[in-house]
Structure 1
Amino acid sequence: MRVADLDTGEDVLTGDDHLTVPVAGLGVVPLLIEVAAQIEFGQLDPLEILDRGSIRPVGVAGVWQHLKAPALPVADLAVLAAAASDAAAANVLLGRVGLGAVRARMDGIGLSKTALIDGFRDERGPDDAPQVALSSAREMSELFTAIVNAQIVSPAVSAQVGEWLNLNQDLALVGAATALDPFAHEDDRYRMLFVNKTGRGDGIRADAGILAGPGGGVAYALLIGFDDLSIAHRLRAHDAFRALGADLMEYVF
């Protein structure tokens, strides 16, 4: 876990933030950065149509698998991946931009503990990578800080990635404390900014992002691995995220 003040960069709360751990769907963030960068530099047309049939069917998460449209433009797939953690959309985008390009981009940014190592799968066999993605709480919080401060690749790339991530509908972890509408959380009547991405898997819960209000702002990341033996185990993990969210709300308000 790591919480850092958004203005000063000073640590507010830390705990084992150097450890590299599985982060599941948080791996979409490096993917979106590469997609936005290729669009910015003319390597990828945001209106290029990509076909769902180009990948093996995957049903672990998302809505595209339930839609009739068999193909969608790059920009729409980025929205689905960011807003709904859509596994099919993410896999099709990854197939288009290339896993090697995503890894090279993370190396170029200077992230040594953050890696997208595979696409999403319904089942992982012995020949598959054991996880979708890895990162540390420190690097994830720093990555979100750089995104909102327009320091990732270019201001335009940072703005595009931030715009996509601002659509995230999973506010059930840290976001549960914000009382924001998960389907429309751009209402700034209380001068609150919340941009985040979550990751979920068997025994994995991860949430990283930015929370800012009239009293200040923080970059945070909480990555939890747990024995996923029952609903009670999951609820205890979720309680930790909600407790952190409540503390962050006190800090920024």
Structure 2
Amino acid sequence: MTGAPARIREAFDEAGVTGRLHALDIDSGAEIGVDGDHAVVTASVHKLCLLVALHEQAAAGRLDLTEQVEVPVAERESGPTGVAAMLDPVRMSLRDAAYLMTAVSDNAAAELLLGRVGLDAVNATTARLGLTHTYAVHTFRELLATIKEDAGPGGARALADPYVVARLRALDPARTNRSTPRDMTRLLGAVWRDEACAPEHGAAIRRLLGLQVWPHRMASGFPFDDVHVAGKTGSLPTLRNEVGVIEYPDGGRYAVAVFTRAASTAATLPPADAVIGTAARLAVEALRAS
């Protein structure tokens, strides 16, 4: 596996990003990393931590996932997907909110669930699982508020300015929600081995991650009908992340976490998205050849 890290770094360089990666064979424990212990900004990847905490509380009887909740229009968190993009009041179950949070990264659904679970409970869950470098500082609403505040009067248009982007607290792992690629593969491994929570809840989490709709990052590296990719993306200005599990028909299961930051401030940057799949494929191929 000595050549794989070099090829992965080369792929990151060609895509114009700084990349961090960790990949883990869930069953054998074999691993490969490129700055895998480097602190990274999780962005919406932290919704995976919230999802696990939600199911942990459900397993303990502290909440009912079938409970119906109202999501009013007033004070609804903004976003381009799910309830966050809807114009009218919505009523749904907690588990359906978890689906929207996971499959389309719905910010309003995530904020609703975080209001029920609590930031302290999310951090307690990651601590219980031994994720010593994973910590949530902000709710998702608070995180987006820091971007608005740091961008200043120029608003969203100011985020095209590299000097403005450089001062965003949301891009500094010392001041926002954070983890490491190794912590994230450890979390995914625990979910796939039913160590994170009770088996029926682990199965529910795996189902939701498998329903994620975005094919342009990790899944793009595995365009095969018999290979299944389940994951969670995360995005902020210049940041494109995804963590997930790739399952092969021979039973191989590989947890991969890729976190990138682009030199360009462009909102649309296909090579930066695609390199997540390329890097994941290179890592998994190295693990399978070892």
**Does the alignment reach a TM-score above 0.5?**
yes
Aligned to 1:35: 54
Cα 1:133–1:54 change in 2 (3 A) is: farther
Aligned to 2:69: 50
TM-score (norm 2): 0.74
Q: What's the offset of the Cα at 1:241? A: 1.2
Aligned to 1:97: 117
Aligned pairs, how many?
241
Matched, 1:130 2:150: no
The amino acid across from 2:58 in the alignment is I
Aligned to 2:242: 207
Deviations 1:131-181 (A, max 9, x none): 66311000111111111111103323322211221111122101112337x
Higher relative contact order (CA 8 A, sep 6+): 2
1:55 and 1:116 mapped to 2: Cα distance?
Answer: 25
1:2 pairs with one of 5, 22, 41: 22
1:116 pairs with one of 136, 141, 162: 136
Q: How does 1:136-215 map to 2 (within 5 A)?
A: 136-179=180-223, 190=226, 192-215=227-250
Q: What's the offset of the Cα at 1:65? A: 2.9
Higher share in helix: 2
Q: What's the offset of the Cα at 1:202? A: 0.6
TM-score (norm 1): 0.84
Cα contact 2:78–2:85 (8 A) shared by 1: no
The amino acid across from 1:133 in the alignment is N
1:111 and 1:55 mapped to 2: Cα distance?
Answer: 36
1:55 and 1:69 mapped to 2: Cα distance?
Answer: 9
Runs of 4+ in 1 over 6 A off after TM superposition: none
2:68 and 2:249 mapped to 1: Cα distance?
Answer: 42
Aligned to 1:106: 126
Unaligned segments of structure 2, at least 5 residues: 1-20, 151-167
Cα contact 1:34–1:105 (8 A) shared by 2: yes
2:246 and 2:53 mapped to 1: Cα distance?
Answer: 24
Unaligned segments of structure 1, at least 5 residues: 181-188
1:61 and 1:104 mapped to 2: Cα distance?
Answer: 30
- What is the DSSP-based 3-state SS (H/G/I as helix, E as strand, rest coil) of the residue aligned with 2:232? strand
Cα 1:111–1:61 change in 2 (3 A) is: farther
The amino acid across from 2:245 in the alignment is I
1:227 and 1:207 mapped to 2: Cα distance?
Answer: 18
1:97 and 1:65 mapped to 2: Cα distance?
Answer: 19
The amino acid across from 1:59 in the alignment is S
Aligned to 1:184: none
Q: What's the offset of the Cα at 1:230? A: 2.8
Greater Cα radius of gyration, structure 1 or 2: 2
Aligned to 2:158: none
CA RMSD of aligned residues (A): 2.6
- What is the DSSP-based 3-state SS (H/G/I as helix, E as strand, rest coil) of the residue aligned with 2:23? strand
- What is the DSSP-based 3-state SS (H/G/I as helix, E as strand, rest coil) of the residue aligned with 2:72? helix
1:55 and 1:23 mapped to 2: Cα distance?
Answer: 27
Matched, 1:244 2:266: no
Cα contact 1:103–1:115 (8 A) shared by 2: yes
2:119 and 2:187 mapped to 1: Cα distance?
Answer: 19
Aligned to 1:185: none
The amino acid across from 2:276 in the alignment is F
Cα contact 1:115–1:133 (8 A) shared by 2: yes
Percent identity, aligned pairs only, is 24
